[in-house]
């Protein structure tokens, strides 16, 4: 029997958080990239681009992160389902307050599919930007994300 390689350790709470999703990744490299993405997202980087995250976590190239997001055989839907199941498990029957929030951000340019001139609620007018709807749960004084949807303008 071939023994599987253990993933490289990062920060303990990132390792612990990501460990519950380990079975969704068939290859240790995929899982290490998943952990690196999480580590980069909580870093103090002003811009969370793949090259910046790769540099911040000590990778020689951002290609492994790019391939993790675009090519590796893992399912974002399976990950989302498992994350929501873990949230339900932690709630242990406690009631939550559901918050639905539409948000928009101004963006320059128009090369990204989701960016267009559209109504952005928090600005209160039509601007070039991106719009999403987010669902959050609140229990006691803890707010946690549930789901989100980025809206693609009709003409895109």
* pLDDT 10s digits, 103-149: 888 888 777 778 888 888 888 888 898 899 999 999 998 999 999 99
Residue 137, in any domain of the structure? yes
Residue 50, in any domain of the structure? yes
Which domain-ending residue is among 77, 104, 130? Answer: 77
DSSP-derived secondary structure for 35-53: HHHHHHHHS--SS--HHHH
Do 57 and 100 belong to one domain? Answer: no
Which has the minimum average pLDDT: 49-53, 55-59, 107-111, 113-117?
107-111
Give me the number of domains the chain comprises: 2
Cα-based distances in Å from 151 to 70, 117, 155: 20, 12, 12
Selected residue with higher pLDDT from 12 and 3: 12
- Domain carrying residue 124: 95-151
Do 24 and 70 belong to one domain? Answer: yes
The candidate with the shortest Cα–Cα distance to 40, out of 25, 72, 18, is: 18
d(CA 17, CA 4): 20
Do 109 and 66 belong to one domain? Answer: no
pTM comes to 0.74
d(CA 35, CA 15): 7
Cα-based distances in Å from 108 to 34, 111, 126, 134, 137: 29, 9, 13, 22, 31
C-beta of residue 31 within 8 angstroms of C-beta of residue 4: no
Torsion angle of the four alpha carbons 115, 117, 118, 124, in this order, in degrees rounded to the nearest 10: 110
Do 73 and 16 belong to one domain? Answer: yes
Do 61 and 100 belong to one domain? Answer: no
C-beta of residue 53 within 8 angstroms of C-beta of residue 65: yes
Torsion angle of the four alpha carbons 137, 14, 34, 89, in this order, in degrees rounded to the nearest 10: -40
Do 101 and 146 belong to one domain? Answer: yes
Do 106 and 137 belong to one domain? Answer: yes
């Amino acid at each position: 029997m071939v023994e599987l390689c253990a993933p490289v350790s990062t920060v303990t709470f990132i390792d612990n958080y990501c460990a519950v999703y380990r079975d969704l990744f068939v290859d240790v490299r995929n899982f290490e990239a998943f952990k690196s993405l999480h580590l980069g997202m909580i870093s103090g980087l002003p811009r969370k681009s793949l090259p910046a995250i790769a540099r911040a976590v000590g990778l020689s190239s951002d290609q492994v992160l790019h391939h993790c997001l675009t090519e590796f055989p893992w399912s974002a839907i399976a990950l989302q389902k498992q994350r929501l199941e873990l949230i339900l498990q932690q709630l242990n029957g406690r009631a939550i307050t559901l918050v639905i929030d539409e948000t928009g951000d101004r963006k320059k340019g128009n090369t990204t599919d989701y960016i267009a001139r559209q109504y952005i609620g928090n600005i209160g007018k039509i601007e070039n930007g991106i719009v999403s709807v987010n669902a959050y749960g609140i229990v006691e004084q803890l707010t946690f994300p549930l789901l989100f949807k980025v809206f693609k303008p009709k003409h895109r």
